[in-house]
Amino acid sequence: MYSVKNFINGKFVDNNDKLPVYQKFSGELLAEVPIATPLQVEEAIASATESFHVFKHFSTEKRAGILKELYGLLKENSGKFSRIIAAEGGKPISYARSEVNRALDNIETGIRATLEFTGRQVPMDYLNGKGKTAYTLRFPIGPVLGITPFNFPLNLALHKFIPAIGVGAPVILKPAPQAPVTLLLLAELLSQTGLPQGVVNILYTTNELSQKMVEDDRLKILSFTGSDRVGWKLKSLAGKKKVLLEMGGNAAAIIDDSADLKRAAKKLAYGSFLNAGQICISTQRIYVVETVFDAFLEHFIEEARQTKSGNMFDPDVVNSSMISHNDLLRIDTWVHEAVKQGAIILEGGKILDEKANIYAPTVLTNTRPEMKVWSEEAFAPVVLVEKVKDFKQAVSATNNTRYGLQAGVFSDNIKHILYAQNHLEVGGVIINDIPGFRIDGMPYGGVKDSGLGREGALYAMYDFTEPRLIVLDA
């Protein structure tokens, strides 16, 4: 069992109220996480507020140096972090290792961004600006509150931590109740770096006290990753804070008649069922032009049948445990509700292991927008495959949702590619790859109910700062 404590004002803090955290496949107890008290939450906020006045003046070299120290420590402990990510989140071990590798790349990207981050020269040589020189400098807005999800407990926390440290802003990180151990173990590494006391606070607490932090005006930025229902509620409570939201979706992919169907089917099966579909940009809807629908579907069903489900520590497993029994029952209900409304199960559509919360890789067709499996975020190993008349209809169907995070387009037709980039209502259009493609330096975020703002160290650093104009009279 892992021993973890909250990290508040430079100290590791325990208390009697605990949250039990279980291994998602076996059910064994992994850790008992202390639940921070109101006084401990207040100390975290006060220490972040006070340390801001010191940390914002740290040199770029010192801030980048802290990130370099973290990189070395995480690399040394990569195996440990891979195992706990897999255990508490139900994530296949190969994908947990990938998360740690991405986290290391994320830190390296953040180091470069920290060293390169700057304002810009402002043109002045016209009207009464002639003879003047102007430029902007960027300054941190203030302490950041980061609320993170269970599905990437390390790397998505770093997407809040890295830009905050990079610009000189303290940060409070609150992990998800389903998988808080990873982030609390990260605090042990951070305590070994040159971070000043109070600059980083990592704590698990109740929803009520989390809401108090969201409402507290001393914290100037809220960066939230999670469901749109929770995200929009928190935004309504955040007062004058700057709010950044990354809230997932029901990502779609489009297949046209110029696509490599075998390649598309292989990639999309992996992108639909990996980590039990519990990825914000997991493929949930596939639209295929009618001339190649049957051929694509044959390839895709075969790939779905070959997807291995089971224990997350089996290196060949792609689809393992869902995060909770309630989520397992929820998606089974959604699938069978859709069937009653006319949907057809082409593969799966059943619980494989109720004790380990494993749902079968599932392929549906004949679905409609009013069905939950279409309109809501499934966050499960369920994908819809539908026939469309042509490429424009596929784009229209992709847009027929309140979400808009990323979309995949499999095509070698330049006219289709240009049409997609100009008409898809999403934050990212991925050509000839799955909607789930991401490297951590890219600007990542969505439109509509998928969120506000962008992640990626450099892009988040702009969101975490404000410009100050300097005008010099020569």
Does any domain span residue 440?
Answer: no
Per-residue confidence band for 404, with pLDDT thresholds at 50, 70 and 90: very high
Percentage of residues in the chain having pLDDT higher than 70 = 100
What residues does 125 pair with on adjacent strands? Answer: none
Per-residue confidence band for 189, with pLDDT thresholds at 50, 70 and 90: very high
Active site residues: 246, 280
Q: Residue 266 pLDDT > 80, yes or no?
A: yes
For residues 386 and 285, give the distance between their C-alpha atoms in angstroms, rounded to a whole number.
8
Same domain, 241 and 282: no
Per-residue confidence band for 79, with pLDDT thresholds at 50, 70 and 90: very high
The alpha carbon dihedral of 385, 388, 390, 392 has a sign of negative
Give the pairing of strands 144-147 and 171-174: parallel
pLDDT at residue 85, rounded to an integer: 98
Same domain, 323 and 369: yes
Same domain, 97 and 224: yes
Does any domain span residue 437?
Answer: no
Does any domain span residue 438?
Answer: no
Mean pLDDT of the chain: 97
For residues 185 and 169, give the distance between their C-alpha atoms in angstroms, rounded to a whole number.
21
Does any domain span residue 383?
Answer: yes
Same domain, 344 and 244: no
Q: What is the mean pLDDT of residues 207-224?
A: 98
pLDDT at residue 111, rounded to an integer: 98
Does any domain span residue 151?
Answer: yes
User: How many folded domains does the chain comprise?
Assistant: 2
- CATH number of the domain to which 380 belongs: 3.40.309.10
- The angle, 0 to 180 degrees and rounded to 10, between the axes of the packed helices 60-76 and 181-190 is 120
CA distances from 200 to 183, 194, 219, 315, 455 (A): 12, 11, 13, 34, 19
Does any domain span residue 93?
Answer: yes
- What values do phi and psi take at 174, rounded to 5? -120, 115
Same domain, 36 and 112: yes
pLDDT at residue 421, rounded to an integer: 98
Summary count for the chain: helices (H), strands (E): 15, 22
Per-residue confidence band for 198, with pLDDT thresholds at 50, 70 and 90: very high
At 334-343, the pLDDT tens digits run 999 999 999 9
Does any domain span residue 148?
Answer: yes
Give the pairing of strands 144-147 and 221-225: parallel
pLDDT at residue 18, rounded to an integer: 98
CB of 410 closer than 8 Å to CB of 259: yes
Same domain, 233 and 294: no
Does any domain span residue 436?
Answer: no
Same domain, 81 and 157: yes
- CATH number of the domain to which 10 belongs: 3.40.605.10
Percentage of residues in the chain having pLDDT higher than 90 = 99
Same domain, 461 and 389: no
At 218-242, the pLDDT tens digits run 999 999 999 999 999 999 999 999 9
For residues 351 and 349, give the distance between their C-alpha atoms in angstroms, rounded to a whole number.
7
* CB proximity list for 473: less than 8 A, separation 6 or greater: 131, 132
pLDDT at residue 183, rounded to an integer: 98
Same domain, 421 and 459: no
For residues 240 and 465, give the distance between their C-alpha atoms in angstroms, rounded to a whole number.
15
Same domain, 18 and 49: yes
Nearest to 446 by CA among 432, 429, 461: 429
For residues 104 and 81, give the distance between their C-alpha atoms in angstroms, rounded to a whole number.
12
pLDDT at residue 401, rounded to an integer: 97
Domain containing 414 equals 252-431
Q: Residue 275 pLDDT > 80, yes or no?
A: yes
pLDDT at residue 285, rounded to an integer: 98
Same domain, 173 and 279: no
Strands (E), 56-199: 121-122, 132-140, 144-147, 171-174
Please report the DSSP string for 104-160 in residue order: HHHHHHHHHHHHH----EE---SGGGTTEEEEEEEEE-S-EEEE--SSSTTHHHHHH
Q: Whole-model pTM above 0.85?
A: yes
Same domain, 36 and 50: yes
Q: Please report which residue ranges of 279-387 form alpha helices under DSSP H.
A: 293-306, 325-340, 372-375
The token duo for 462 is 């702009």
Q: Residue 474 pLDDT > 90, yes or no?
A: no
